[in-house]
């Protein structure tokens, strides 16, 4: 796998398309969320599906995160292999091969997983029993996202009872993530959605109490809503991921005062080269659908006033410069803010960490593998 840069290299020499981290902005983002969680008195369990990097996870843990979330067993394996000792798979796991790998992993690290189905509880118990492992199990409840999750209240409490009665499982709490609320643009609407989620968690806690159980952990929240969950008095763990990079789509959220959600800085970029310039208003760059995920909208050209990225194809993107004053030369390199950070990261094999981005002295400080890229199993 071609590595686009080596430490010490001036930014302009980085080969493209490369996935750049603005280390200064990234570190400010890390610290800001760590301070928030500490001040709010909630745990931060950062979501590693965003970065897929034990190197980044280690930085999050060093600032106080209790561990990471993963979405797949294979992603969790990469984290444990990379030295992360506490991993929650914030998702359901189906199928014997994956269940066996999950149970094996639980012998090497503190591993949790979610359930929303009684038969899945039995499968988890059997897998853990086969290798003599002990698994933390959270009951996932659907707090409004209409994706996975048991119905809140009694159905969830019945699942928790099944877990608690299983010899190799430990009922650890509730997974109550409202994914659909994260990108709702208006702060008041996000607040209302999380208020409803909190009600559903409370209803479930009452049902748990009625059967003599307690939800130790109530975990959820993302970069779009975490202030609401943290203020709820009910959630005690946050699963934010995107705050480290802050993509273009999160930049379209608004705060309560109507201003742009800019609590975190854009710290992830795709660095691209103008490889064709047929007319001055149209610069074709070498980063298309295989370097940038466009599921949540097009990338934003960075500091190119009036420029718009459009018409991506596999390996091309077209920068329309007609609406602005920016002009580019063939061979010139540009920065693009990805529309959606997680699936964009997953397209790349390397992070190129740059110190002093935006200054003449911008220089590569580190190169990290995207170690769990492609870990979909």
Q: Which stretches of the chain bind a copy of itself, using CB under 8 A? A: 1-2, 4, 15-17, 49, 71-72, 74, 91-95, 97-98, 116-117, 119-120, 142, 146-151, 179, 273-278, 282, 284, 286-287, 289-291, 293-295, 311-316, 318, 330-331, 340, 342-343, 346-349, 373-377
**Minimum CB distance to a copy of itself smaller for 236 or for 247:** 247
* Residue with Cβ nearer a copy of itself (15 or 55): 15
Closest contact distance (angstroms) between CB of 135 and a copy of itself is 17
Q: How far is the CB of 175 from a copy of itself (least distance, A)?
A: 12
Structure tokens at 57: 């996870």
Among 273, 252, 263, smallest CA distance to 336 is for: 273
3-state secondary structure of 347: coil
Question: C-beta of 117: minimal distance to a copy of itself in Å?
Answer: 6
The whole-angstrom separation of Cα 344 and Cα 90 is 21
CB of 295 to a copy of itself, least distance (A): 5
Least Å from the CB of residue 23 to a copy of itself: 22
31 neighbors 65 (Cβ within 8 angstroms): no
Nearer Cβ to a copy of itself (27/92): 92
The residues with which 317 forms a beta bridge, in sequence order, are: 285
Query: First vs last Cα of the chain: how many Å apart?
Result: 21
Kindly state the tokens that stand for 7.
Answer: 């430490």
140 or 161: CB nearest a copy of itself: 140
Contact 220, 239 (CB under 8 A): yes
Least Å distance between CB 315 and a copy of itself?
A: 4
Residue whose CB is less far from a copy of itself, 213 or 319? 319
CA distance 52 to 106: 19
Distance between CA atoms of residues 22 and 32, nearest Å? 15
Q: What pairs with residue 351 in β-bridges?
A: 19, 368
* Angle value at C-alpha 313, between 310 and 318, nearest 5 degrees: 35
Q: Which is nearer to a copy of itself, 86 or 349 (CB)?
A: 349
Find how far residue 290's CA is from the centre of its chain.
20
Q: In the complex, what is the shortest distance from the CB of residue 145 to a copy of itself, in angstroms, rounded to a whole number?
A: 9
* Residue 358 Cβ vs a copy of itself, minimum distance, rounded to whole Å: 22
Nearer to a copy of itself, 67 or 312 (CB): 312
Integer CA distances (angstroms), 235 to 47, 200, 252, in order? 16, 12, 26
Q: How far is the CB of 44 from a copy of itself (least distance, A)?
A: 19
Q: Of 65, 112, 66, 67, nearest to 93 (Cα)?
A: 112
Nearer CB in complex with a copy of itself: 21/114: 114
Q: Which is closer to a copy of itself, CB of 30 or CB of 148?
A: 148
CB 75 within 8 A of CB 49: yes
Alpha-carbon gap, residue 51 to 371, rounded angstroms: 9
146 neighbors 102 (Cβ within 8 angstroms): no
């Amino acid at each position: 796998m071609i590595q686009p840069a080596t430490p010490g290299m001036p930014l302009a020499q980085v080969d493209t398309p490369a996935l750049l981290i603005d280390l200064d902005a990234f570190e400010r983002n890390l610290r800001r969320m760590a301070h928030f969680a500490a001040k709010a008195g909630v745990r931060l369990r950062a979501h590693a599906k965003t970065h897929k990097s034990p190197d980044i996870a280690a930085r999050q843990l060093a600032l106080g995160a209790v561990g990471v979330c993963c979405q797949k067993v294979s992603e969790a394996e990469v984290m444990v292999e990379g030295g992360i000792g506490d991993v929650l798979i914030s998702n359901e796991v189906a199928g014997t091969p994956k269940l066996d790998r999950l149970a094996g992993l639980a012998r090497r690290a503190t591993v949790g997983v979610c359930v929303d189905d009684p038969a899945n509880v039995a499968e988890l118990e059997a897998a853990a029993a086969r290798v003599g492992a002990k698994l933390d199990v959270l009951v996932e409840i659907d707090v409004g996202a209409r994706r996975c999750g048991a119905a809140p209240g009694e159905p969830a409490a019945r699942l928790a009872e099944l877990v608690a009665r299983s010899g190799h499982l430990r009922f650890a709490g509730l997974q109550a993530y409202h994914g659909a609320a994260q990108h709702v643009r208006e702060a008041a609407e996000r607040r209302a959605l999380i208020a409803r989620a909190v009600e559903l968690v409370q209803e479930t806690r009452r049902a748990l109490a009625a059967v003599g159980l307690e939800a130790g952990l109530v975990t959820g929240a993302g970069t779009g809503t975490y202030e609401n969950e943290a203020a709820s008095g009910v959630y005690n763990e946050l699963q934010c991921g995107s705050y480290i990079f802050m993509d273009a789509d999160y930049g379209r959220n608004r705060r309560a005062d109507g201003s742009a959600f800019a609590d975190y800085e854009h710290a992830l970029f795709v660095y691209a080269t103008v490889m064709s310039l047929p007319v001055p208003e149209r610069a074709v760059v070498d980063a298309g659908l295989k370097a940038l995920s466009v599921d949540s909208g097009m990338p934003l050209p960075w500091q190119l006033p009036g420029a718009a990225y459009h018409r991506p194809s596999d390996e091309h993107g077209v920068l329309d410069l007609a609406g602005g004053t920016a002009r580019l030369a063939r061979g010139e390199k540009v920065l693009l803010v990805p529309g959606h950070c997680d699936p964009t990261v997953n397209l790349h094999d390397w992070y190129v960490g740059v110190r002093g981005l935006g200054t003449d002295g911008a220089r590569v400080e580190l190169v990290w593998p995207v170690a769990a890229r492609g870990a979909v199993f």
